[in-house]
Structure 1
Amino acid sequence: MQAYDFINNLIPPLKVTDNAKKALAWMEEIRINVLPVVDDGEFKGLVTDDLIYTVNNPNLEIGKMETESLACFVYQDKHIYDVLRVASEHHSNMVAVLDRDLRYLGVITMEDAIAAFTDSLSIQAQGAVVVLSMFMTDYSMYEISRVIESENAKILSSFITVDPLDDSKIKVTLKLDKVELRHIKATLERFGYRIIDHYQEENEPDREQDRIGNLLRFLDI
Structure 2
Amino acid sequence: MQAYEFINNLIPPLKVNDKAKMALSWMEEIRTNILPVVKDGSFLGFLSDELIYTLNNPDMRIGDFEFDSPTCFVYLDKHIYDVIKTASENGVNMVAVVDRENQYLGVVTMEDAIGAFADTLSIQSHGAVVILSMFMTDYSLFEIARIIETENAKILSSFISNDPLDDSKIKLTLKLDKSELRHIKATLERFGYKIIDHYQEEAGVSEEKDRIGNLLRFLDI
Q: TM-score, structure 2 length as denominator?
A: 0.96
Alignment match, 2:65: 65
Aligned partners of 1:142, 1:84: CA distance in 2, in Å?
28
Name the stretch that deviates more: 149-158 or 162-171.
162-171
Indicate if the aligned counterparts of 2:124 and 2:207 stay in contact, CA closer than 8 A.
no
Alignment match, 2:94: 94
**Percent of pairs identical after alignment?**
74
Which whole-Å deviations, capped at 9, do the CAs of 1:14-54 have from their partners, x for residues lacking one?
00000100100100111111100001100010001001111
Name the stretch that deviates more: 149-158 or 4-13.
149-158
Indicate if the aligned counterparts of 2:36 and 2:44 stay in contact, CA closer than 8 A.
yes
Which whole-Å deviations, capped at 9, do the CAs of 1:107-127 have from their partners, x for residues lacking one?
011111111111111111110
Alignment match, 2:193: 193
Aligned residues: 220
Alignment match, 1:103: 103
Indicate if the aligned counterparts of 1:74 and 1:82 stay in contact, CA closer than 8 A.
yes
The CA deviation at 1:2 is 0.3
Structure 2, gaps ≥5 residues long: none
Which whole-Å deviations, capped at 9, do the CAs of 1:52-73 have from their partners, x for residues lacking one?
1111111111111101100000
Alignment match, 1:18: 18
Which whole-Å deviations, capped at 9, do the CAs of 1:173-200 have from their partners, x for residues lacking one?
0000001111111110111100011011
Aligned partners of 2:74, 2:207: CA distance in 1, in Å?
34
The CA deviation at 1:164 is 3.0
> One-letter code of the match for 2:107?
V
The CA deviation at 1:207 is 4.7
Alignment match, 1:180: 180
Indicate if the aligned counterparts of 1:133 and 1:172 stay in contact, CA closer than 8 A.
yes
Alignment match, 1:170: 170
Indicate if the aligned counterparts of 1:173 and 1:219 stay in contact, CA closer than 8 A.
no
Aligned partners of 1:44, 1:114: CA distance in 2, in Å?
24
Aligned partners of 1:10, 1:60: CA distance in 2, in Å?
24
Alignment match, 2:44: 44
Structure 1, gaps ≥5 residues long: none
Alignment match, 2:214: 214
Indicate if the aligned counterparts of 1:96 and 1:104 stay in contact, CA closer than 8 A.
yes
> One-letter code of the match for 1:208?
E
> One-letter code of the match for 2:17?
T
- Residues 1:155 and 2:145 are matched in the alignment: no
Alignment match, 2:8: 8
RMSD of the alignment, in Å?
1.3
Alignment match, 1:28: 28
> One-letter code of the match for 2:179?
V
Give the SS at the match of 2:183.
Answer: helix
Aligned partners of 1:5, 1:58: CA distance in 2, in Å?
35
Aligned partners of 1:96, 1:199: CA distance in 2, in Å?
35
Give the SS at the match of 1:142.
Answer: helix
The CA deviation at 1:5 is 0.3
Q: TM-score, structure 1 length as denominator?
A: 0.96
Alignment match, 2:142: 142
Give the SS at the match of 2:53.
Answer: helix
The CA deviation at 1:167 is 2.3
- Residues 1:202 and 2:205 are matched in the alignment: no
Give the SS at the match of 1:10.
Answer: coil
> One-letter code of the match for 1:176?
L
